A and B are shown apart, each in its own frame.
Chain A
Amino acid sequence: MTQLAARLHFYVPVLLAFALWEAASQAGLIDPSIFPSLSSVLAAFVRLLTNNNLLKHAGISIFRQMSGFLLAGGIGIVAGILIATTAWARFAIEPVIRLVYPLPKSALIPLFILWLGIGDASKIGAIFLGALLPVVLSTYNSARGVNTALVWSAWSLGTPRLLIPWKVVLPAAMPEILSGLRIALALSFTLLVSAEFLISQEGLGYLISQLGENGDYPGMFAAVLAVTLIGVAADRGFLALRNWVLRWTEQ
């Protein structure tokens, strides 16, 4: 309870900023035609929930983001561990990853539109490949830095050699892997919204641009607010998951 109170107290300045926004609107300090008041945005939020299928669009967006992100996370961690622990994977995969890594990830969106069309698959593909590289590299870098004494101890205590990457290296590298995953999570949302802005017929990015084109600015702000809330919720959920996964470490 006190923890909850402390957390709420931490966010008081955010509430103040919202209050300032509403007060400035009421006082006529900001032009409502391009900057609608908070109350009208909240009213529009409720309207979107009932009239514009906000939840349907949100569901589609979250499905695309989660599919791409989970694929990238799963494949990225396995690939990173393999590169760190086996010679052939380091020889074959690492140079390719290093070469492609500096590519600005947004280049992938048009590429996947070209390959997979304008539906779900192109968004999932762009998110997958964009989020994959940070996961692979953070996994590889942290797995490479794992204390060799841990590996030797496990070996001498009888852990089968094939299991060492998964039973020893992976858990030891987990804190850094999770930092890489968190970066990939934020990137996945950026790619999702960009791709939906660019070309889409559903999803929150589509909803935002649609409302903007119709001149429904309170609605547009409300849809942006929805994306913001989802992004923050995903990040906070991820942090809670991380703390649970890392409960054995001394942090």
Chain B
Amino acid sequence: MDRAVKIAAPQPPFRLPPAAFALLRTAERSIPILVLLAAWEFATRAGMVQLFLLPPLSRVLVRFYADTIDGTIPYHIVQTSITALSGFFLAAAVGVILGAAMAVSRPVRYICEPLVSLAFPIPKISFLPIFILWFGFDVLPKVLMVAFNCVIPITSATYLGARGIDKYILWSARSLGTPHHKLFWKVVVPAAAPQVISGLQIALPQALIIGIVTEMLTGGDGLGSYMIRAVRFSDSETAFAGILAMLVTGLAYMQIAAMIRRHVLKWHTEAAAEG
């Protein structure tokens, strides 16, 4: 009886406008983060941890702000980005060409497949002393180290993407009259694009990780040196400001990469959303 009445007169459900809903969701998600940050500040102010090990958040923020205003942190972010992005784009150029060549040519595949498969799991950073021996202490060994790390995932993603293209797409394009010389750019490249971009998105954080490690190890400029110098001088406020700067940089890289992905893959509804 009760139920029948309800079905007969349904109430329009109350719905928040999407913008308000998104705002509430963000607020909800930031609660645990704010609690953690408050606990950090409180515990350090109350003297529950050694200030040397964990300086109060407020002091880290003050240092971060001061070093940002006087240009130190932006300078090091730019230096790190020059290393990481040079290596990344070098690896992207080599990796995409090599991966595509492996997909279309048997001899290239025969030679490169075992090399790529072996290079995948090796800790490539262990080659750094060799790179320094060969290329000196300047920015070149860092760039090449980043490229060496990034080229493997990009190559294998491109290869798998280009190999995995549905044969029916190629056949349809051909039967609909796509000339042979246009097949590659008009069909193969777009069809492999989601996987290639995924490979690039895997490689980009690695570029940053390796760029920062090489800066820690070889000195020079950049976020890695900025932070390791602070640790050597037991200046933990600057060390934490360095971590914050690295987090901001990493976040910016990921956001920009996701934006580019959405833009490039606009036509591909599923793939644009991933990653």
Residues on A facing B (Cβ under 8 Å): 10-14, 16-17, 34-35, 91-96, 98-100, 102-107, 109-111, 113-115, 185-186, 189-190, 192-194, 197-198, 204-205, 208-209, 212, 217, 220-221, 224, 227-228, 231-232, 234-236
| B1-48 at interface with A (beta carbon < 8 Å) | 28-33, 36
| B217-236 at interface with A (beta carbon < 8 Å) | 217, 224, 227-228, 231, 236
Collect the chain A residues with CB atoms within 8 Å of residue B123's CB. Answer: 186, 189-190, 192-193, 227-228, 231
Collect the chain B residues with CB atoms within 8 Å of residue A231's CB. Answer: 121-123
Collect the chain B residues with CB atoms within 8 Å of residue A99's CB. Answer: 33
A208 and B253 alpha carbons, distance in the complex (Å): 32
Is there contact, CB below 8 Å, between A190 and B216?
A: no
Is there contact, CB below 8 Å, between B32 and A198?
A: no
- In angstroms, how far is the closest chain A Cβ from the Cβ of B275? 11
Interface size classification for chain B:
35 or more
B254 at the interface (CB under 8 A from A): yes
Known: A10-B114, A95-B30. A107 touches B124 (CB 8 A): no
Is there contact, CB below 8 Å, between B121 and A95?
A: no
Q: Name which of A17, A93, A113, A231 has the most chain B CB atoms within 10 A of its CB.
A: A231
B247 at the interface (CB under 8 A from A): yes
Known: A34-B133, A93-B32. A185 touches B247 (CB 8 A): no
Collect the chain B residues with CB atoms within 8 Å of residue A16's CB. Answer: 111
Q: Name which of B29, B32, B53, B126 has the most chain A CB atoms within 10 A of its CB.
A: B126
B71 at the interface (CB under 8 A from A): no
Is there contact, CB below 8 Å, between A186 and B228?
A: no
Classify the secondary structure of B's interface with A. Answer: helix
A107 and B123 alpha carbons, distance in the complex (Å): 17
Known: A96-B33, A104-B246. A14 touches B115 (CB 8 A): yes
B251 at the interface (CB under 8 A from A): yes
Is there contact, CB below 8 Å, between B243 and A107?
A: yes
Partner of A102, one of B113, B114, B236, B253: B253
- In angstroms, how far is the closest chain A Cβ from the Cβ of B123? 4
